[in-house]
């Protein structure tokens, strides 16, 4: 095939071949990728990655059906990208489990907003409640201590801690109804 007759021993030859293939079959390549991947941003990334893939591994010169070859190569690259993503997410989940950090199951921006809102609530608690009530609530709900642990840290009984938390939450609920 005349399209693939460039010298493939160097990267320039690979770039030339990839450029020729993309010049002739670019719309086909993009259509196949968009058909397989619904996310437009991911499709664009895969389109660029496929070009680089062709640069590093140009199609052999003896290919009879270049369109079929490209279809199979695109499919394989998409499968590889999905596997890489799954491996990465798996590593992140394992790391989070080992380090006891919660794993974001939704959009990271929403998780960040939730953390910021919780920090605002804890600042409100510190400003509006007595020191003992605020400290008990913060240790219990922000630091995730058990009642007995909070009592030990504050050097009071667990019944007293339950009272601090109950009274503090009542005051916060009342204050939030006013706002």
- The domain limits of the chain are 2-97, 108-178
Per-residue pLDDT tens for 27-42? Answer: 888 888 888 888 888 8
Please state the pTM of the whole predicted model.
Answer: 0.47
Q: What is the mean pLDDT of residues 121-125?
A: 87
With H, G, I as helix, E, B as strand and everything else as coil, classify residue 141: helix
Question: Over the stretch 46-91, which tens digit does the pLDDT of each residue have?
Answer: 888 888 888 888 888 888 888 888 889 888 888 888 898 889 888 8
Kindly tell me if the per-residue pLDDT of 103 is higher than 70: no
Alpha helices in the chain (DSSP H): 11-36, 40-56, 66-99, 108-128, 131-137, 147-154, 158-178
Which of 126, 128, 129 has the alpha carbon at shortest distance from 142? 126
Q: How far is CA 91 from CA 79, 103, 111, in A?
A: 18, 11, 20
Q: What does the pLDDT read at residue 45?
A: 85
Decide yes or no: CATH 1.10.3720.10 for domain 108-178: no
Model confidence at 7: pLDDT above 60: no
**Hey, what are 55's tokens?**
């640069």
Q: Which is it for the CA torsion 105, 106, 109, 115, positive or negative?
A: negative
The pLDDT of residue 5 is: 45
Determine the Cα–Cα distance for residues 165 and 81; give it in Å rounded to an integer. 50
């Amino acid at each position: 095939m005349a399209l693939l007759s460039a010298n493939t021993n160097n990267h320039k030859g690979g770039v030339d071949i990839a450029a020729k293939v993309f010049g002739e079959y670019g719309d086909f390549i993009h259509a196949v990728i968009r058909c397989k991947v619904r996310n437009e941003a991911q499709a664009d990334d895969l389109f660029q990655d496929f070009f680089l893939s062709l640069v590093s591994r140009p199609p052999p010169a003896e290919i009879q059906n270049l369109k079929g070859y490209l279809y199979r190569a695109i499919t394989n690259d998409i499968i590889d990208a999905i596997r890489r993503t799954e491996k990465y997410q798996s590593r992140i989940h394992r790391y989070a489990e080992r380090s006891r950090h919660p794993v974001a199951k939704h959009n990271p921006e929403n998780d960040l907003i939730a953390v910021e809102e919780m920090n605002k609530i804890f600042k409100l608690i510190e400003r509006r409640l007595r020191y003992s009530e605020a400290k008990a609530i913060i240790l219990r709900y922000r630091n995730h201590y058990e009642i007995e642990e909070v009592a030990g840290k504050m050097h009071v009984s667990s019944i007293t801690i339950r009272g601090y938390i109950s009274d503090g939450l009542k005051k916060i609920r009342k204050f939030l109804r006013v706002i």
